[in-house]
Amino acid sequence: MTKLQIVLLSAMSSIFVSLIAGFAHADRILIQGIRIPYGLFLALSVCVLTILWLNRQFQTRLAGTVFLVIWVLVTLRMAIESTNGDLVFTVTWYSTSYIIAGAVLLSMTSVLPVMRLPQEVQQVLPESQA
């Protein structure tokens, strides 16, 4: 795959995942009167796992870096009030945690060394890609 294809595929997946995670981070469940914000952990986990998968699938950190940049742009857009007053990220502790923890976790994840593909897949790849 060319670098342009990797950038485009990573950007498209990042837009999709970031939008879903941006809305899902605020989901909570009430168990015996205790409110548990599982959406925050779910959204961040999905983003981290997506970066790891992209890096491993394309065998380059470029995919994770593109995901991170697009995630920041989508998150900033969701945090800014629109002209008609709509706001996705309200001023709550879990929205603030999503933005700060997400920036830290996704930055750390995007610079991790690329995991190798399984041995069976490496044998199938031509010499130029292995």
Q: Across residues 108-114, what is the average pLDDT?
A: 91
User: Residue 117 — φ and ψ, nearest 5°?
Assistant: -70, 160
Q: What is the pTM of this model?
A: 0.84
Asked whether residue 128 carries a pLDDT value surpassing 60, the answer given is: no
- Percentage above 70 pLDDT, the chain: 92
Asked whether residue 13 carries a pLDDT value surpassing 90, the answer given is: yes
pLDDT at 68: 96
DSSP, collapsed to helix, strand or coil, labels residue 81 as: coil
DSSP, collapsed to helix, strand or coil, labels residue 115 as: coil
DSSP, collapsed to helix, strand or coil, labels residue 35 as: strand
Identify the band that residue 15 occupies on the pLDDT scale cut at 50, 70 and 90.
very high
Residue 83 to residues 23, 33, 34, 80, 87: CA-CA distances in angstroms? 19, 37, 36, 10, 10
Asked whether residue 3 carries a pLDDT value surpassing 70, the answer given is: yes
Asked whether residue 64 carries a pLDDT value surpassing 80, the answer given is: yes
The residue with greater pLDDT, 130 or 16, is 16
